[in-house]
Structure 1
Amino acid sequence: MTTDNATSLSPLIHLVDDDAAVREGLSLLISTVGLRVQAWAEPQAFMAGFDRASIGAIVLDVRMPGISGLTVLEQLLAQGVDQPMILLTGHGTVEMCRRAFKAGAAEFLEKPVDDEVLIEALQNAVRQHVRSRERHQADQQARERFAQLSAREREVLGLIVEGLTNKEIGKALALSPRTVETHRANLFGKLGAESLAQLIRRYAALVE
């Protein structure tokens, strides 16, 4: 298992292949574009010890002793691992390719893999992972903000989303216009919304 000395802030690529020459060659290639590389010879050791919190991607050889890269992919996805996974194989078949994409592979490439094709696939995977983590963080923040709302504020929010005016909300909840305005202002502040459209989108994301 090897790790380069790049900054911990750069994306981390986990490379899992039982062929030492492949690990060395691909590690050098990947590091040339500013990505950190952690190479693993044994898939079992990788599954037990890799950093699941890191931003990056996973490159898996399909044919490895003990457990195939495709099985590793399926097991990791079942465990909720969110790093995009790229499969490499020297003996690809249509059925294997179909199974890989159906299981959730980000890419399926045949060896010997073209350098530019692999780098492009990795960069796309990293961008995909960054966006996914950002969405997850935004959703988590929205849930935390929603939890801060009072029962009355949630009632007002639901009626705003239904399209009711402040006057109609006041009548429905037996509130004065000033009180409705106060709740409305609190909702925008607590949910971090800058417009009505943004407020509605955040509410919709929470109740999906």
Structure 2
Amino acid sequence: MSATPTVYIVDDDAAVRDALGLLLSLHGYRSAFFSDAESFLRAWNPDAAGCLLLDIRMPGMDGLALQKKLVELGSRLPVLIITGHGDVHSAREAFRSQAVDFLEKPLQEAQLVSAIEEALARAAARPQGGGASPDYLKRRASLTPREGEVMELVVAGRHNREIAAELGISVRTVEVHKSRVMEKLQVESIADLVRQHLQNQVG
């Protein structure tokens, strides 16, 4: 693996690898491709620079397992998760293992390029974690107690009906609280909510 910043792609779908390779070359990125997690691990070294674009569902070791393994190995490569089967649990696990973003297929070119730029910038800057950001704390403090309860259950992967039953409120009321939480925390999706919550946990 090269010390030159490279976008490493691990996806078992050859068509996806080909499409990503063409897209990345048009944007001037250096790229390297792997069809499974095991071959990537064999090639990985601690000096690898750039970022990793990682599919979740693959034969053998899946993407989330590879991500956790890289964390254990001390990898410094920022990870972007891509999946055709996104859900809150998968997003939560990805962000717990320090994923930069969680992108659902079919990938949108502008969104993908933006995420890669963020990942490469993060790799270059290497900010040190220091707990919750002041901006997040301010937005989080604007939630009512009930909105805070709903948010905690949402990021834990609970569905609206489960949240309603646990809190003794209607499903419609859960939806209203969830909408207000996303507005106040300035997120556009549940995956963004999970990421922001986990990245700003104190301790």
Check whether TM > 0.5.
Answer: yes
**2-structure distance, mates of 1:80, 1:32:** 31
Using a 3 Å threshold, how does the CA distance of structure 1 residues 89 and 41 change in structure 2: closer, same or farther? same
Q: Is the 8 A contact 2:3 2:48 kept in 1?
A: no
User: 2:112 is paired with a residue of what secondary structure?
Assistant: helix
2:100 to 97, 106, 109: 106
Pairing of 1:154-165 with structure 2 (within 5 A): none
Match of 1:66 in 2: 60
Report how many residues are paired. 128
**2-structure distance, mates of 1:51, 1:32:** 27
Cα drift, residue 11 of structure 1:
1.9
Work out the percentage of aligned pairs sharing the same amino acid.
36
Q: Is the 8 A contact 2:81 2:99 kept in 1?
A: yes
Match of 1:122 in 2: 116
Match of 2:11 in 1: 17
Using a 3 Å threshold, how does the CA distance of structure 1 residues 24 and 52 change in structure 2: closer, same or farther? farther
Matched, 1:77 2:71: yes
Match of 1:89 in 2: 83
User: 2:18 is paired with a residue of what secondary structure?
Assistant: helix
Q: Is the 8 A contact 1:10 1:34 kept in 2?
A: no
**2-structure distance, mates of 1:39, 1:52:** 18
Q: Is the 8 A contact 2:3 2:47 kept in 1?
A: no
| Higher relative contact order, structure no. (Cα contacts within 8 Å, ≥ 6 residues apart) | 2
Cα drift, residue 48 of structure 1:
1.2
**1-structure distance, mates of 2:124, 2:62:** 27
Q: Is the 8 A contact 2:46 2:74 kept in 1?
A: no
**1-structure distance, mates of 2:113, 2:32:** 16
Higher Cα Rg, which structure: 1
User: 2:48 is paired with a residue of what secondary structure?
Assistant: coil
Cα drift, residue 50 of structure 1:
2.8
Q: Is the 8 A contact 1:87 1:105 kept in 2?
A: yes
Cα drift, residue 18 of structure 1:
0.3
Q: Is the 8 A contact 1:55 1:130 kept in 2?
A: no
Cα drift, residue 52 of structure 1:
3.5
Match of 1:178 in 2: none
Match of 2:40 in 1: 46
Cα drift, residue 9 of structure 1:
7.6
Query: Counterpart amino acid of 1:118?
Result: L
**2-structure distance, mates of 1:63, 1:44:** 14
**2-structure distance, mates of 1:89, 1:49:** 23
- Normalising by structure 1, we get a TM-score of 0.58
Query: Counterpart amino acid of 1:81?
Result: S
Match of 1:36 in 2: 30
CA offset digits 1:108-147 (Å, max 9, x no partner) = 11011101101110011001101129x8xxxxxxxxxxxx
**2-structure distance, mates of 1:63, 1:25:** 18
User: 1:67 is paired with a residue of what secondary structure?
Assistant: coil
User: 2:126 is paired with a residue of what secondary structure?
Assistant: helix
Match of 1:179 in 2: none
CA offset digits 1:127-176 (Å, max 9, x no partner) = 1101129x8xxxxxxxxxxxxxxxxxxxxxxxxxxxxxxxxxxxxxxxxx
Q: Which runs of 5+ in 1 are unaligned?
A: 136-208
